[in-house]
Amino acid sequence: MEGLTIVNANDVILRAENLSYKYDSASEEDFALQGLNITVRKGEFIAILGHNGSGKSTLAKHFNAILLPAGGKMYVAGMETADENLIYSIRQTVGMVFQNPDNQIVANIVEEDIAFAPENLGVDPAEIRKRVDDALKAVGMYEFKDHAPHMLSGGQKQRIAIAGVIAMMPQCIVLDEPTAMLDPVGRNEVLRTIRLLNREYGITIVLITHHMEEAAICDRVVVMEKGQIATDGTPKEVFAQVEMLKSLGLTVPQTVELIYMLRKEGIDIPLDALSVEECAEAIYNVLKPVGRDNDARYN
Amino acid sequence: MLKDITLGQYFPGNTPVHRMDPRMKILLTMGYIVILFVAKGILSYLPIMIWLITAVALSRIKPSVILRGVKPLIFVITLTAVLNMFYTPGTELVKIWVITITYQGVYTAFLMVLRIVMLITGTFLLTYTTSPIALTDGIERLMSPLKAIRVPVHELAMMMTIALRFIPTLIEEADKIMNAQKARGADFETGSIIRRAKALIPLLVPLFISAFRRADELAIAMECRCYRGGEGRTRLRQLNYGPVDVYALIFSVLLWGAAIACRSIAI
Amino acid sequence: MPGIIKTEGLSHVYGKGTPFERKALDNIDLEIERGEFIGLIGHTGSGKSTLIQHLNGLLKPTEGRVLVDGKDIWEDIRKVRDIRFRVGLVFQYPEHQLFEETVYKDIAFGPTNMGLEKSEIEERVYEAAEFVGISREQLFRSPFELSGGQKRRAAIAGVIAMRPDVLILDEPTAGLDPAGREEILARIRDYHAIRNTTVILVTHNMEEIARNASRIIVMEKGRIRMTGTAHDVFSHAEDLRDMGLAVPQITQVFLRLREMGLDVDPSVYTVDQAKRKILKMWRDVHA
């Protein structure tokens, strides 16, 4: 896609400074976000992990000015979200995909829905055509451009929603639990798509989720609890803190849990084996001496 | 499956009628309706019939499908015919008991029926050959001059588009809710009218609440995609009049002119 | 004694005679014993939703029979509705069905439809609310004031209040976070243990099923592909993977270890089992 290239990774696209937020209906002490600081750089692929009520969705909504800070400041590509005049620039810079695939689709025909955002931005019709086609190809839904959205599967609808956002040519996409209502096939479609968008087009991806397996494929994991950041690091660094995650009501991938338990039993096995392949590799290495012995039987 | 029912049913195709600009089709349909009521006498109806038959033939929609639209109105049509037959004064044709049927009665009844059938089939031809999106587009562009007198044309068109988009989704949801309530013993079929109306509450309340929730979420999603009303909006689809539209216009004007001219020829 | 639910040659075709004709169920023979905790697993489109809707008479077989307690439920059309009180079905996202002014009234909907006495209804509502963890105070609020998780539990209570002999739950943990999932599953386990109701849990999540079900039924393309205990089913882990089902990570690790040359039994589906097996192998190696 033209116009979108991998940018200098040192640029900051999202910055929250001492961010606080409270929902109207909440009591005085019930802050959804409390003095939160976070920086996201261009090109990052980051997961924000937390149980329901940890504040992760609230934080996500600050990233494109759906919610405005009650305290502190939120900056998007240097623009302050509290500034009314900048709101459309901000929303064109950071796109958002929500949980319910149906409630994001506006039009009766797929390509008309993708065109919605560029139409709102007053883009030239010939350019809209190009963006619609490019966006659909990027998410692998080009053959469906004349279809009616309600006939598509959940995963396909979410990819349409993503394409609708890409058509604005944003620098960053925030996805708020996009796979919560999908079956495993749909979930894989969505994850593959956003990973591709990040790797090949350099789009910053912020994935809000409570699924460990999803966080595991990101480059950086931020864990939230009670409106604050509990920990922030690579997936391996974060999942190594098994006890802490459990105390937050989260789980860890089975691979990590297994290794953690084996370590507790005294086996020296590296804790940073996250994927199935890495975990099998690590276990194999520990059992290697009899690995190839065909006579011995283990059950 | 309920999901497949669409309003007015659209049959995709690539005939001259399908390819016409929706604005021209809407305008011609409106003109057609006016002409039908202006026409007087069988000679006047003839050119209009020729117009209709040509349009149907060009659209390649099967006549049986076109006439399907008439079925629900058979009762009204028969009633109109009978009333006209029995109560038009004139020269007696036959007398049954106290009821007199006149020549004029039969003639008027015939024309009435003809007009209603032509009216229905002509209007359905519009929806059969024009997709809902094209229709709303056409209506929106035709109404845009009204913006000058503060009519919210864009908003109305947006409402129509979204409503059309969500009809199948809401039907599917209604299905699910009905099943869930039936699984708890709800009975939507038996009982008096009042009982059945009350039985709809477990269906309608969740459906309404869900619809409001959807509207809320959709509104936020639209704002996230920089929606701000009709100001400065461009469109992916461009509507352009083409040669087909010009031919159709000329054809219509000629035939309808003839229809008007034939009004004065009495039988 | 015959199983509480039995299907014989059950088939279902959607849209027969139209261009949309589709065979959703193909000759299903199934027998479920009283008190079993069944896990029903399969892809979207495998026929699981269609199957469960036959078990409570919402759908009628195009071929074959459905028997509850040995009797064909479609023998007397007027009695089909009563079956729904014996075979309770909780759909996905059940919180979307809530409609009454108070949680109490909503939970009472099922028992009221059963024509029970007021005192009986009251007893059942309180009992069901307690099972799912809804307090007395919450009972008299509007269901729409509850949180998402509470709403779901209220909806489940609405079905439990009918005291069905069979409880079918279609993806009861869909959309919940890990803590929420575990809570609902724990309550279902408790319910099963205390009331000895037959439970059928439909899910995509193999880990959930492996930990809770005594018997697993795997469906694909309208047919039953496998049925057996968790151990039986997971010993065919490769087949499960080939069917495109999400096999637990732990099982995938053991499959990979086998591929790498280790002679291990891959029918492992909990972390605990995996740990014990590896410990044993390690001790043997370092003995």
Q: What is the 3-state secondary structure (H, E, C) of C107-129?
A: HHHHHHHCCCCHHHHHHHHHHHH
Whether B179 sits inside 8 A of C110 (CB atoms) is no
| Whether residues B39 and B124 fall in one domain | yes
What stretches in chain B show pLDDT beneath 70? 1-8, 266-267
Residue C30, pLDDT > 80, answer yes
Q: Which residues of B touch A64 (CB under 8 A)?
A: 224
| Whether residues B92 and B219 fall in one domain | no
Over B45-74, what HEC string results?
Answer: HHHHHHHHHHHHHHHCCCHHHHHHHHHHHH
In a domain, A99, yes or no: yes
In a domain, A260, yes or no: yes
| Whether residues A199 and A297 fall in one domain | no
Measured between alpha carbons, how far apart are the two ends of chain C, in Å?
52
pLDDT digits (tens, 9 = 90+) for C193-237: 999 999 999 998 888 888 889 999 999 999 999 999 988 888 888
What is the span of the domain harbouring residue C274? 248-287
Q: Which residues 163-182 on chain C approach chain A with CB closer than 8 angstroms?
A: 174-180
In a domain, C285, yes or no: yes
3-state secondary structure at position A195: helix
Reference B28, options B138, B148, B136; nearest CA is B138
**Residue of C256, C271, C281 lying closest to A277 (CB–CB):** C256
pLDDT digits (tens, 9 = 90+) for C222-279: 999 999 998 888 888 888 888 878 788 888 899 899 888 888 888 888 899 899 999 9
In a domain, A245, yes or no: no
**Minimum Cα–Cα distance from B183: chain C residue:** C84
| DSSP 8-state assignment for residue A8 | P
Do the Cβ atoms of C269 and C234 come closer than 8 Å?
yes
Count of other CB atoms within 10 angstroms of residue A150: 18
| Whether residues A197 and A259 fall in one domain | no
Contacts of C37 by beta carbon, 8 Å cutoff, 6+ apart: C192, C198, C199, C201, C212, C213, C214, C215
Q: How far is C88 from chain B (nearest CA, A)?
A: 7
| Whether residues B107 and B136 fall in one domain | yes
**Residue of A183, A251, A284 lying closest to C257 (CB–CB):** A284
In a domain, B229, yes or no: no
| Whether residues A92 and A175 fall in one domain | yes
Number of inter-chain CB pairs under 8 A, B vs C? 59
What stretches in chain A show pLDDT beneath 70? 1-10, 25-29, 289-299
Reference A63, options A204, A162, A181; nearest CA is A204
Do the Cβ atoms of C60 and C74 come closer than 8 Å?
yes
In a domain, B127, yes or no: yes
Q: How far is A68 from chain C (nearest CA, A)?
A: 24
pLDDT digits (tens, 9 = 90+) for B36-82: 988 888 888 999 999 999 999 998 888 888 777 788 888 888 888 88
**What pLDDT sits at residue B246?**
94
Give the CATH number of the domain where residue A227 resides: 3.40.50.300
| Whether residues B172 and B126 fall in one domain | no
Whether A298 sits inside 8 A of C274 (CB atoms) is no
In a domain, C264, yes or no: yes
In a domain, B249, yes or no: yes
CA A258, distance to chain mean position in Å, is 26
What is the span of the domain harbouring residue B156? 152-224
In a domain, C283, yes or no: yes
Whether A150 sits inside 8 A of B165 (CB atoms) is yes
Q: What's the rounded Cα separation, in Å, for the pair C141 and C150? A: 12
In a domain, B1, yes or no: no
3-state secondary structure at position A81: coil
Angle, nearest 10°, between helix axes A110-120 and A154-166?
Answer: 30
- Whole-number average pLDDT of chain C: 91
Q: Which residues of C touch B205 (CB under 8 A)?
A: 99
Structure tokens at B230: 């009709």
In a domain, C265, yes or no: yes
In a domain, B231, yes or no: no
Reference A42, options A75, A9, A74; nearest CA is A9
| DSSP 8-state assignment for residue B172 | H
Q: What's the rounded Cα separation, in Å, for the pair B224 and B142? A: 29
**Residue of A183, A257, A299 lying closest to C44 (CB–CB):** A183
Reference A102, options B214, B135, C46, B53; nearest CA is B214
Whether C253 sits inside 8 A of A180 (CB atoms) is no
| Whether residues B256 and B214 fall in one domain | no
In a domain, B234, yes or no: no
End residue of a domain, out of A180, A207, A235: A235
**What pLDDT sits at residue B267?**
56
In a domain, C150, yes or no: no
Q: Is B98 on the interface with A (CB under 8 A)?
A: no
Q: What's the rounded Cα separation, in Å, for the pair A235 and A212? A: 9
Vertex B260 angle, CA B254 and B264, to 5°: 140
In a domain, A240, yes or no: no
Q: Is A250 on the interface with C (CB under 8 A)?
A: yes
| Whether residues B30 and B114 fall in one domain | yes
| Whether residues A266 and A144 fall in one domain | no
Q: What's the rounded Cα separation, in Å, for the pair B190 and B209? A: 26
Q: Please report the DSSP string for A122-189 in residue order.
A: T--HHHHHHHHHHHHHHTT-GGGTTS-GGGS-HHHHHHHHHHHHHTT--SEEEEESTTTT--HHHHHH
| Whether residues B42 and B109 fall in one domain | yes
**Residue of A64, A103, A129 lying closest to B214 (CB–CB):** A103
How many domains does chain C divide into? 1
| Whether residues A208 and A298 fall in one domain | no
**What pLDDT sits at residue A3?**
46
How many domains does chain A divide into? 2
**What pLDDT sits at residue A27?**
66
3-state secondary structure at position C217: strand
Q: Is the dihedral of CA A270, A275, A280, A281 positive or negative?
A: negative
Alpha helix (H) residue ranges in B183-242 = 193-199, 201-224
What residue type is C285 in one-letter code? Answer: V
| Whether residues A207 and A272 fall in one domain | no
Q: What's the rounded Cα separation, in Å, for the pair B181 and B178? A: 5
What is the span of the domain harbouring residue A103? 12-235
Whether B183 sits inside 8 A of C94 (CB atoms) is no
Whether B161 sits inside 8 A of A106 (CB atoms) is yes
| Whether residues B61 and B133 fall in one domain | yes
| Whether residues B81 and B157 fall in one domain | no
Do the Cβ atoms of C129 and C121 come closer than 8 Å?
no
Q: Is B109 left (phi over 0), alpha (psi -120 to 50) or beta?
A: alpha
In a domain, B147, yes or no: no
| Whether residues A89 and A219 fall in one domain | yes
In a domain, A7, yes or no: no
Numbered residues of chain C with Cβ closer than 8 Å to any chain B Cβ = 14-15, 20, 53, 56, 58, 81, 84-85, 88-91, 94, 96-99, 109-110, 113-114, 144, 158-159, 162
Backbone angles phi, psi at B39, to 5 degrees: -60, 145
| Whether residues A225 and A260 fall in one domain | no
Which residues are A15's β-sheet partners? A39, A75
In a domain, B110, yes or no: yes
| Whether residues A55 and A101 fall in one domain | yes
- The residue count for chain C: 287
**What pLDDT sits at residue A10?**
55
Q: Which residues of A touch B226 (CB under 8 A)?
A: 88, 91-92, 117, 120-121, 168
In a domain, C252, yes or no: yes
In a domain, C90, yes or no: no
How many domains does chain B divide into? 2
